[in-house]
Amino acid sequence: MSYGGNQPPGYPPPGYPPPGYPPPGYPQPAGYQPGGYGAAPTPPYAGIGKRIIASLLDGLIVSVAMIPGWVLYAMAIGFAVSNADQRTGQLSQAQGQAAGAMFLLAIVALFAGWLIAWLFNIYLLGKNGATLGKRWMKIKVLDLAGQPLGFGKAFLRELVKLVLGNLCFILYFWPLWDQEKQGLYDKIFSTHVYEAPPV
C-alpha cells in the first residue's frame, strides 16, 4: 500500500515518526533519548572498597616518589650524629650549617616528590578518568556527560578532597551512605566514580 510519495515498504506515511519513536504530542518515556539505539549503558557506580584500595595504591606511588627525600633526611641525621662532639653532643658552627642545609634539602625533596606524584595522578585523572591506582582497580571518575574531567577540574576536585579529608577523616567514607556513592567533593563538582567497562 502506498501513502503518497515513494516510501519504501514498511516505512510510515509522511508526518509519522519512524518505528520506536512516540507519536507527535505524546510524552517521551523516562530515560528516552531519540537516536540512542546502540548507545552503551551507564556503568554501575564503583564500590567504596575499590575506591579505598585505589587511594592506597596511589598513596604508595606518592610514597615511592618521596624516597629520595627520606634518603637525604637519613643522610643529614647520620652526618649530624657522626660529627657531634662526643662529650657535649654539639656540632661546630660550620658542621651545624652543613647539617641544617642537608635537612632543608631533604624537606624540599620530600615535598617535591609528593607534589610531582600528586600532580601526575591528577593529570591522569583529568585525561583518562583514572589514576594508576584507579586504573588497576578498573574504576573511573567521569562528569555528568560521561567524560574525563580535564586537568583543571580534576585538580580542584582533588584539592577539595584533600582539604575535606584533613578536616574530618570520616568524610572520606561519605560514599558509604550516599545513594549515588558520591563523596562530598563529587557532589561539588558533579562527578561520579564508575566501574570501568572492560576494554
Mean pLDDT of the chain: 80
| CB atoms closer than 10 angstroms to residue 161 | 19
Q: Residue 76 above 90 pLDDT?
A: no
C-alpha distances in Å from residue 59, one per residue of 10, 52, 54, 151 = 60, 10, 9, 19
- DSSP assignments along 145-195, one per residue: TS----HHHHHHHHHHHHHHHHH-GGGGGGGGT-TT---HHHHHHTEEEEE
C-alpha distances in Å from residue 175, one per residue of 46, 132, 139, 180 = 10, 21, 15, 8
Out of 63-67, 77-81, 133-137, 160-164, least confident range? 77-81
Q: Residue 130 above 90 pLDDT?
A: yes
* pTM of the complete model beyond 0.85: no
- Look at residue 171 in the predicted model and tell me its pLDDT: 79
Instruction: Give the pLDDT band (50/70/90) at residue 87.
Output: confident
